[in-house]
Amino acid sequence: MMTFISPRLRKPAMYALAGLLFAGAWLVHGGRLWWVSIPAVILTAYHVVRLYRLGGTDTDEGARAGSRADERQQLVSLRSRALACNLTALTSFIGLTVSIAVWASWGWPFLVTLLITGYGYLFGLGNYGVAEEGTPDDEDTEHDARFPLSS
């Protein structure tokens, strides 16, 4: 579906969708706080417009916002997300440990987050090729792989 949307509109569209879902949740089940959906929509609209304008600028942030990042910009983004995931896992571990130490019932979100990040890491290892051990060259070939130049 994303291929039908202009690259510059992709990120703003995603933020608009997320913001409208958040606002809709407040409107439907917010009770007396239903009005929170109004500032949520306003903030979403502001952020979407800001993101769209940023996507037109000749900067690294603009390239990411406009979904036209090249390999270096994608690498920077990937490293930043990896750092964010590390911090999330660390924070979750600390939160879970503290909740156990004080025997509190609010520790389960930390446990869920820790499990998701841990599973995501293991899934990534398996998905991105760490499991492809292969066989040594010596077992695959009849030639002497150690001394290819010897006759």
Q: Which residues bind another protein (CB under 8 A)?
A: 58-60, 63, 69-73
Q: Which is nearer to another protein, 48 or 51 (CB)?
A: 51
Q: Which is nearer to another protein, 57 or 97 (CB)?
A: 57
Could you tell me the smallest distance in angstroms from the CB atom of residue 67 to another protein?
13
Could you tell me the smallest distance in angstroms from the CB atom of residue 80 to another protein?
15
Q: What is the 3-state secondary structure (H, E, C) of the chain?
A: CHHHCCHHHHHHHHHHHHHHHHHHHHHHHCHHHHHHHHHHHHHHHHHHHHHHHHCCCCCHHHHHHCCCCCHHHHHHHHHHHHHHHHHHHHHHHHHHHHHHHCCCCCCHHHHHHHHHHHHHHHHHHHHCCCCCCCCCHHHHCCCCCCCCCCC
Could you tell me the smallest distance in angstroms from the CB atom of residue 66 to another protein?
11
